[in-house]
Amino acid sequence: MATIRKPTYTKPLPTDAKPFTRNGKQFAKIKHKGRTITCPVTKDGRKLRVETDEWWVRYKDASGKWREEKGYTDKTLTDELRVRIEARVAQERDAATDPIKAHKLRPIGEHLEAFQQHLAAKENTPKHVAETVNQVQRIIAECGMKTLADLTAGAVESFLKELRSRGKRGGSIATSNHYLVAAKRFAGWLVRDRRMKESPLAHLSALNTRVDRRHDRRAISIDEFGRLVKAAECGRVVESVAGADRAVLYILAAWTGYRRAEMASLTAESFDLDSPLPSVRILAGYAKNRRADTVPLHSMLVERLRGWLAGKGDVEPGEPVFALRSPSGHWRKTFKMMQRDLAAARATWIGEAMEAGDAEEAARREASDFLTYQNEDGLFADFHANRHTFISNLGKAGVPLAMGQKLARHHDPKLTSNVYTHLDLRDKLAAIELLPAPPEANGSNGSAEQTFPQPSHSFPHGQSLLGTVGHGTGKAGSNGNSTQPVKIERLGTPRHAKSQVETSGLEPPTFGMQIRCSPS
């Protein structure tokens, strides 16, 4: 139980003091701070015992030790302080037996520092750790959070809404979702580390990014890619990277799906071109999924890489073969490389029609979005679009979803099929042609058994894309692509039994499909 009192201190008996005796005890009247007070005299009669002006609170802390805390000159205010101290000591006693309550009293910044150490200990990349912590730190700062009690769903939702409402300078829905993921990850860690009983953000869900996409990529068509590589080969140095190196950079990215950081990590030792199964390997420290991974190489790509590496001369062991970082460690702007080479390829493509004297064709090409960095649908052909091209071409080649997911190194097959696989109208037409023929109109009642005939229209992207690199494909159609499809053999032809027909495309069909009639 806390009490309040006025402690005393001693001071010499002044010469103008008026001593007297009361009930056998000595006292003296003195002038003190403009007023007359009565104070006890010590036994030797030389000093006075004077009370302090302020009241003090005496209490036992959570460990049982006596403490004193200075109060106010007003007794009522000091008594209110006593009540607050008693409540605080009670909380500290509870916190001593309940670690969660103890964590609630600590500044939220201390928890964030521990969270940062946790992320680093999990061997996340420094970039990922910094981005996650910075996002949480921004939420804490802008919401004015001091302790974990301030970490509420309402505060985070208000921050995200404000972030999205800042116009072009603000964040897209995708950016807002990234902040939410970081905050929920922080809150989830607080629960797992027994710093909170439950996450206050667990019920918050991400918003639909499709209504606010600002930088979606597209797959690059065969004809576009061939012209892009040819333009790079003949182009000037861009971002300190020579044209020949950019050409190989684009091809390797579009035939392995490697990201920029993964491409930047490749050295001469990363390539195994002389084994029966030629491949390229990235180390776990550079992969986004933090796993070492090996991707087989196309036979025609192997020959190109062998010649390109030989042309680079003696490369120091461990030295990157693509100079995608400056000497100071900053990233080269790969999007600028793509912009320049696409613009050069487009200018050449339009110039071909002008040189042929076909003004109408030249005008049509000028009005199209063929070889543009951003097409009419707002989709970009930046460096990461090469990864979209790789995964889309797997789908167009009839690669099963499971294999496509493994080659793309995705944890979620939905990401492989829904985000990275781009199919145009001609690809959809090729799929429609795989359906059985509809009943004929010459008296057929449609009761005959329907079969899946060999389609007359084969997938336009079924040929080896490497065979077109650096070469045009003839006069372009409406979108600049070749109008001559390449015939390919597919499982399901008369040469194969039905049991040999494999799953096609990144969205597998159901085996044993037949014409089904609606009960209505």
**Closest C-alpha among 216, 232, 145 to residue 186:** 145
Residue 508 has pLDDT above 90, yes or no: no
Radius of gyration of the chain (CA): 38
Is 252:258 a contact under the CB 8 Å cutoff?
Answer: yes
The pLDDT of residue 211 is 60
The pLDDT of residue 458 is 41
Model confidence at 295, pLDDT cuts 50, 70, 90, reads confident
Model confidence at 190, pLDDT cuts 50, 70, 90, reads very high
Residue 447 has pLDDT above 60, yes or no: no
Looking at per-residue pLDDT, the higher value among 469 and 125 belongs to: 125
Measured CA to CA, the distance from residue 50 to residue 7 in angstroms comes to: 8
Nearby residues of 47 by Cβ (< 8 Å), 6 or more positions away: 10, 11, 12, 13, 41
Type of residue numbered 293: D
Is 187:434 a contact under the CB 8 Å cutoff?
Answer: no
- How far is Cα of residue 377 from the mean position of the Cα atoms in its chain? 24
- How far is Cα of residue 432 from the mean position of the Cα atoms in its chain? 37
- In the chain, the percentage of residues whose pLDDT exceeds 90 is 37
Arithmetic mean of pLDDT, 396-401 = 83
Arithmetic mean of pLDDT, 308-323 = 84
Left if phi > 0, otherwise alpha if psi is -120 to 50, otherwise beta: which for 422?
beta
CA quadruple 187, 192, 195, 196: dihedral positive or negative? positive
Residue 201 has pLDDT above 60, yes or no: yes
Residue 493 has pLDDT above 90, yes or no: no
Of the ranges 92-96, 173-177, 190-194, 417-421, the best mean pLDDT one = 190-194
Arithmetic mean of pLDDT, 417-429 = 71
Measured CA to CA, the distance from residue 95 to residue 99 in angstroms comes to: 6
Looking at domain 218-425+461-504, which CATH architecture does it have?
Orthogonal Bundle (1.10)
The pLDDT of residue 504 is 46
Residue 443 has pLDDT above 70, yes or no: no
Of the ranges 149-158, 445-454, 487-496, the best mean pLDDT one = 149-158
Measured in degrees and rounded to the nearest 5, phi and psi for residue 394 equal: -65, -45
The pLDDT of residue 489 is 36
Q: Which of 24-28, 369-373, 380-384, 458-462 has the lowest mean pLDDT?
A: 458-462
What would the two tokens of residue 308 be? 């390109």
The pLDDT of residue 107 is 92
CATH number of 108-212, picked from 1.10.150, 3.40.50, 2.40.30, 1.10.10:
1.10.150
Q: What is the mean pLDDT of the chain?
A: 80
The pLDDT of residue 82 is 92
Is 341:231 a contact under the CB 8 Å cutoff?
Answer: yes
Mind listing the pLDDT tens digit for each residue in 106-153?
A: 899 999 999 999 999 987 888 889 999 999 999 999 999 999 999 999
Nearby residues of 73 by Cβ (< 8 Å), 6 or more positions away: 53, 54, 55
Domain parsing of the chain, residue ranges:
3-97, 108-212, 218-425+461-504
Residue 180 has pLDDT above 90, yes or no: yes
Helix (H) or strand (E) holding 306: helix 299-311
Model confidence at 437, pLDDT cuts 50, 70, 90, reads low
The pLDDT of residue 286 is 59
Mind listing the pLDDT tens digit for each residue in 231-265?
A: 999 999 999 999 999 999 999 999 988 989 889 98
Mind listing the pLDDT tens digit for each residue in 258-291?
A: 989 889 989 888 999 988 889 998 876 555 555 6
Bridge partners, residue 22, by sequence:
25
**Closest C-alpha among 389, 382, 464 to residue 424:** 389
Bridge partners, residue 49, by sequence:
10
The pLDDT of residue 488 is 35
pTM of the predicted structure, to 2 decimals: 0.54
Is 397:459 a contact under the CB 8 Å cutoff?
Answer: yes
The pLDDT of residue 520 is 37
Measured CA to CA, the distance from residue 292 to residue 332 in angstroms comes to: 24
CA quadruple 282, 404, 221, 489: dihedral positive or negative? positive
Arithmetic mean of pLDDT, 403-415 = 80
Arithmetic mean of pLDDT, 11-25 = 89
Model confidence at 212, pLDDT cuts 50, 70, 90, reads low
Measured CA to CA, the distance from residue 223 to residue 479 in angstroms comes to: 10
Model confidence at 490, pLDDT cuts 50, 70, 90, reads very low
Looking at per-residue pLDDT, the higher value among 212 and 490 belongs to: 212
Is 13:20 a contact under the CB 8 Å cutoff?
Answer: no
Residue 473 has pLDDT above 50, yes or no: no
What would the two tokens of residue 401 be? 């979803």
What is residue 8's three-state secondary structure? Answer: strand
Residue 451 has pLDDT above 50, yes or no: no
Distances (CA, A) of 336 to 36, 214, 226, 321, 466: 86, 18, 18, 19, 24
